[in-house]
Amino acid sequence: EFVPQGDGTYLYDNSSFFPLDKRGLADDIYGHNYYFTMEMHTSFIYHGGEHFKFRGDDDVWVFINGSLALDLGGIHTPLAGSVALDDLQLTRGAPATLDLFFAERQPFMSNFRVETEIQLQPVGSCSVWGDPHAIAFDSAASQVAGNPPSIVDVFGHGDMWIVKSALVSIQGRYGPTQWTENGLSATLALAVGGPFLKGHVLVIEARDGQITWDGESILQEFPSDWSVQDLIKVQYHEVEQPID
């Protein structure tokens, strides 16, 4: 977990970095599970002035927006490296990606230290289904123990935000249908957009409606798949198990 330092930076510092201890294959004679690799993939909004600093062993490669920004490859004792994001020709206020690859290749030490001003986005998922229910990954309710409550219910009509962040926007449209009783609400449509879709909008209407990408119909058969390379993949399939 990255810890805010109070000066605009976030820090993760672990001089005994062994995330696979007591997991998978047995630990070796030195008491740790060495010889592992790790990947981290995330996104962020570039504001200007950020740095990404790493110190550790062994290999680490950091790609920002798909380009190699930091290369500390090889078997070595802890090495440090830093990249100034202002040197990478990023666009201020625009989303960017960060991909980190790490390898521990010797049974001797494992250090992992990252310091950065980048506000890394958490990985999460949200569930939207039924009559209506929505559990959002960026809602405070999602942090409670057990099953978090839905952020919409059968009494709400209209267009409501399900997720609204710097990168992701999801709106739901709710209202009565011929199948709901006493004017209770059902999910009529979902609209997904935001910078992570590079200005495009995916709209999913109820089963008798359409699925559109920028207003053009897609996934007109069931089952079917549709994708835009390196951006989005949509599946219109039966689920293996019902959500509820």
Confidence class for position 229, pLDDT limits 50, 70, 90:
confident
**pLDDT tens digit sequence for 51-87:** 999 999 989 999 999 999 999 999 999 999 999 999 9
The pLDDT value recorded for residue 94 is 85
Within 13 Å, how many C-alpha atoms sit on residue 195's CB side?
A: 15
Q: How far, in Å, CA of 179 to CA of 173, rounded?
A: 16
Q: How far, in Å, CA of 36 to CA of 77, rounded?
A: 16
Is-above-0.85 flag for pTM?
no
**pLDDT tens digit sequence for 120-144:** 765 556 666 666 666 655 544 444 5
CB-CB contact of 46 with 90 (8 Å): yes
Counting residues of the chain whose pLDDT is more than 90, the rounded percentage is 38
**pLDDT tens digit sequence for 155-188:** 667 888 877 777 788 888 888 887 777 778 888 8
Q: Which residue has the tokens 């962040």?
A: 165
Residue 160 to residues 41, 176, 207: CA-CA distances in angstroms? 30, 15, 20
Query: What φ, ψ does residue 206 adopt, rounded to 5°?
Result: -60, 170
More reliable by pLDDT, 40 or 140: 40
The average confidence (pLDDT) of the chain is 83
Q: How far, in Å, CA of 236 to CA of 219, rounded?
A: 7
Q: How far, in Å, CA of 237 to CA of 106, rounded?
A: 45
